[in-house]
Amino acid sequence: MAPRIKHDKPGLWSALASPIGKKVLTGITGFAWAGFVILHMAGNLSYFGAGEAYNEYAHKLLSTGPLLYAVEIVLLICLVIHAILGVNIYLGKRRARKQGYDAYRSAGRPGLQSPSSRTMLLTGVVLLVFLVIHLKSFKFGPGIAEGYSLLVDGEPIRDLKRLVTEKFQHPIYAFGYTGVMVLLGFHLRHGVWSALQSLGAMNRRLTPLIYGIAALLAVGIAAGFVVLPLYIYFFAP
């Protein structure tokens, strides 16, 4: 016999650790990052803006000070939770079916199983590794002290644009970044819809619609990110 349940009312912790709680948390933390990613993409696109729009945008962001730190801490916490739950769900799935099938295939629609949904952990790990490199290259990369500066209204600010332009002139960085952003789109293709389903926001009529919109969003975000490195690599002076 399987173990019987002891308590009817779950505490917050056991609720969060329940199959529902885990998915809700994964969804919320995923959404936080999806929001961040969209803002980041918008920021990237300001590279194409007139004058020093890109650098001014980056500067403005930095000058929010404590607010920025707060957001960064929240994002970091979300990331940790999201990653831990992802690994936990993956390990749980391994336990839930110890012997796999000799033959297995998807039955297709209306199922939503896709290469995207089946590789969430893999794309997630790649994105995590990328994130470390990415932060090292840019956020914690060379700044004013290293000569990447320019004067705006008489004040020296970091010339991030130059750094970005230089980096993306290297094929490894330009194409690596492009590749990872495609994977980001891949991750979001399932992730965005899945988060809504995990939060219980879906019903029979909404699901196909939202699933379609999620695809557009994923492609849009990936496209929004890859134009920058590709433009710089192929066209920038």
Partner 1 sequence: MAQTMTIHLKVWRQSGPDAKGKLVDYTLENLNEDMSFLEALDVLNEELIKKGEDPVEFDNDCREGICGSCGLMVGGIAHGPMKATAVCQLHMRHYKDGDTIVVEPFRATAFPIIKDLVVDRSAFDRIIAAGGYVSVDTGGAPDANSLPIPKEHVDEAFDFATCIGCGACVASCPNASASLFTGAKVAHLAHLPQGRIERKERVVRMVDQMKAEGFGDCSNHGECEAVCPKQISIAAIAKMRREYLRALFG
By CB under 8 A, is residue 15 in contact with partner 1? yes
Q: Could you tell me which residues come within 8 angstroms of residue 177 by beta carbon, excluding any fewer than 6 positions away?
A: 134, 168, 225, 226, 229
Phi, psi of 17 (to 5 degrees): -85, 0
Min dist CB 115 to partner 1, Å, is: 11
Of the residues 100, 147, 154, 237, which one makes contact with partner 1 according to CB under 8 A: 100
By CB under 8 A, is residue 235 in contact with partner 1? no
Of the residues 39, 74, 201, 216, which one makes contact with partner 1 according to CB under 8 A: 201
By CB under 8 A, is residue 105 in contact with partner 1? yes
By CB under 8 A, is residue 13 in contact with partner 1? no
Of the residues 173, 197, 214, 228, which one makes contact with partner 1 according to CB under 8 A: 197
Instruction: Provide the residue count of the chain.
Output: 237
By CB under 8 A, is residue 109 in contact with partner 1? yes
By CB under 8 A, is residue 82 in contact with partner 1? no
Is 29 or 165 the residue whose CB approaches partner 1 more closely? Answer: 29
By CB under 8 A, is residue 10 in contact with partner 1? yes
Q: Segment near partner 1 (CB under 8 A), from 9-17, 70-78, 122-130, 216-224?
A: 9-17
Judge contact between 82 and 30, C-beta under 8 A. Answer: yes
Q: Segment near partner 1 (CB under 8 A), from 58-66, 98-106, 126-134, 223-231?
A: 98-106
Q: How far apart are CA 209 and CA 121, in angstroms?
A: 25
Q: How far apart are CA 218 and CA 224, in angstroms?
A: 10
Phi, psi of 158 (to 5 degrees): -70, 135
* Helix pair angle (160-167, 53-63), 10° resolution: 120
Q: How far apart are CA 207 and CA 200, in angstroms?
A: 11
C-alpha torsion angle, residues 139, 140, 141, 144 (rounded to 10): 90
Q: Which residues bind partner 1 (CB under 8 A)?
A: 2-5, 8-10, 12, 15, 18-24, 89, 92-93, 95-113, 117-118, 120, 190, 193-194, 197-204, 207
